[in-house]
């Protein structure tokens, strides 16, 4: 788990053994559609931190990111 209060870390073991990482912002049980941001080959989840904070903290736009 992350020590950052803005998000929680999520790890998934793919069938081929690869360990994948995601960040979950906002309420995990949100009724809103999730927003999925995929970084490129040399990038990572931190690239989307500001966007995820914006989307997950706006009541009219609340999303599970």
pLDDT tens digits for range 30-54: 777 788 899 888 999 999 999 999 8
Q: How high is the pLDDT of residue 3?
A: 60
8: helix, strand or coil: strand
pLDDT band at 22 (very low <50, low <70, confident <90, very high): very high
**Residue carrying structure tokens 């040399």:** 42
Q: Is a pLDDT exceeding 90 seen at residue 14?
A: yes
Q: Which two tokens stand for residue 38?
A: 């995929």
Cα(17)–Cα(51) distance, rounded to whole angstroms? Answer: 30
Q: Are 1 and 28 in contact (CB under 8 A)?
A: no
**Residue carrying structure tokens 């966007």:** 51
């Amino acid at each position: 788990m992350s020590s950052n209060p803005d998000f929680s870390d999520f790890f998934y073991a793919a069938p081929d053994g690869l360990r994948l990482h995601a960040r979950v912002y906002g309420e995990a049980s949100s009724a809103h559609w999730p927003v999925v941001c995929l970084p490129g080959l040399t990038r990572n989840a931190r690239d989307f931190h500001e966007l995820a904070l914006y989307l997950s903290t706006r009541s009219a736009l609340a999303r599970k990111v």
